[in-house]
Chain A
Amino acid sequence: MTSDSAVITLEAVSKRYGSRTVVHDLSFTVDEGEIVGFLGPNGAGKTTTMRMIAGFTAASTGRVRVAGYDMATQNVEAARLIGYQPERPPLYDTLDVSAYLRFVARAKGVRRAAVPAELERVIAACHLEAVVRREIFKLSKGYRQRLGLAQALLGTPQVLLLDEPTAGLDPGQIQETREVIRAFGEHHAVLFSTHILAEVTLICRRVAIINHGRLLAIDSPSALRRAQEETHRVSLQVSGPSTEVRDALLSVKGVIAVDVHAMPDNAGLLAVDCRVEPRQGLEAAIARAVTHRWDLHRLERQEPTLENVFLQYVKTRPDGA
């Protein structure tokens, strides 16, 4: 599971709170120059995993290493190399933006002389120029989120851990944030959690899917999509006898399985769900097989989006078995 260029390494990591196990036996790596998306429903264990990598909490069993440092014993040394944006931006409401960033920079060990340039860099990267002198409690949610990202970028982090960095942002701000992540990820390691699946396909090289604290899959977004190709589906509504409709559809080349239900609110109309091979033009063949004998009311091709992939994994493997 480990590789030479791995900056973040989790080896059989579990986290228990009393008798409740939040993360089970999690193993994966994030390499230098790689952006990994972390997908999972609420309560899946994403935040706990992020916290273990950031050193906020320690793993109950297993080992978390960041840049070679064991987070159980060397978390302070590793902290210099980690930029961490928690799910809730860690902001001191009574400070203004500039004082806050100056505090974080100094606390991360940035030399006093280098602080102004550092502040300028992250303020520009996160587009905070308009609010530099504003007190944090007066900031909008979007600015709070971006300030949370700005503090994570301070210093010289080799690793960026972002827990839902685009939550609460408008589309323009989301775009800007993605650009920051993409630019940083070119030379460093980034692990970020999100609910927006499109984001994962846009900027991640790999996606880790987690549910009930277990890793369900880790692969490239396109490979995950391929993994779901057998779930290409064509759904249709036909008025006709169910056995004959099923036989007619199964005789079409490329149709793997057919599921027929009578529609409860419309006697005589059937809802048909076909699992098909992933090739073009199949809809036309299906339509032809149906229309020369019965009335076709509706036909729809369902592409396997990452959302489907995610839901499919979560639905079919709820315990990660």
Chain B
Amino acid sequence: MTGTLAVYQKELASYFRSPIAYYVVAVFLLGTGYFFLYNVFLTGETTMAATFQNMGILLVTLVPVISMRLFSAEFSAGTAELLLTLPLEPWQIVVAKYLGAVTILVLMTAATVVDLVPLYLFGTPETTTILAGYVGFVLLGMACLALGLFFSTLTHNQIVAALITAAVLLGLWFVGHLQSFQRSDALRGLFGYLSFAQHFTDFIQGLVRTEAVAFYLVVAAIALTLSAGYLQWRR
């Protein structure tokens, strides 16, 4: 536990001592702020629904920047030789690194709460719907980060890791659109089930469905298990 905590703290220190975390958080907050202003002030609707939708796609494009360094940077800098010879199981290292990345996600999500101030000052938004949206957003981010972490275990090259992650996440975000081209109900169901965007839409509408929660958590668990398994196997 001590070792896992040490790796987690090292991860956070590394994020905040390099420009990457600041860059990601800044881009995310600027983007979110812009979408918020556009959606709320131009339409006059005091909801976060449209903003959450925009935050989702923004997240999908920014996650690869956070996750690309998780293992790729360790391999390319040679620090993997230290990390993977510590008295820690691969899953402990994976969990510590993942929690570090999730902490960044939670911090940048928390920073968007400032957008809620004008919403509550000038309107009467539905708090439970907003809360559901935030829960969905964090779950979406957790699934995306876990996939990004897995792809970063596969390569020494951070750019390659980021590009694979971006391609896969965008694919999973837009895969729901393929439903309209399918005649087979099974395929339509499958594409709908795999769609990160469709599950997220439920949360935005205020629905915290067990199926959607489980979907994101299972995706994250599978990706993390594969990562730990791969690290063990590559020995």
Interface residues of chain A, those whose CB is within 8 Å of chain B, are 51, 54-58, 75-77, 79-80, 82, 84, 86, 88-95, 99, 103-104, 106-109, 112, 135, 151
Contact = CB atoms under 8 A, between A and B. Distances in A.
A51 B87 contact: no
B168 to A, nearest CB: 27
B214 interface: no
Nearest to A89: B78
A83 to B, nearest CB: 10
Contacts of B17: 94-95, 135
A88 B81 CA distance: 9
A106 B87 contact: no
B87 A109 contact: yes
Given A92-B10, A109-B2, A79 B87 contact: yes
Given A94-B18, A95-B17, A103 B89 contact: no
Contacts of A56: 80-81, 84-85, 235
Contacts of B18: 94
B7 interface: yes
A270 B85 CA distance: 59
B2 A106 contact: yes
A18 to B, nearest CB: 13
Interface of B: 2-3, 5-7, 9-10, 13-14, 17-18, 77-89, 235
B85 A94 contact: no
Contact of B235 (A58, A86, A89): A58
Contacts of A55: 84-85, 235
Contact of B3 (A82, A88, A99, A109): A109
A77 B13 contact: no
Contact of A94 (B5, B14, B86): B14
A106 B14 contact: no
A302 to B, nearest CB: 40
Nearest to B89: A76
A151 B83 CA distance: 12
B10 A95 contact: yes
A90 B87 contact: no
Nearest to B6: A106
Query: Which 3 residue pairs of A and B lie closest in terms of their CB atoms, listed nearest first?
Result: A106-B6, A90-B82, A79-B87
Contacts of B13: 94-95, 99, 103
A95 B81 contact: no
Contacts of A58: 235
B231 to A, nearest CB: 11
A217 to B, nearest CB: 28
Nearest to A135: B17
Nearest to A103: B10
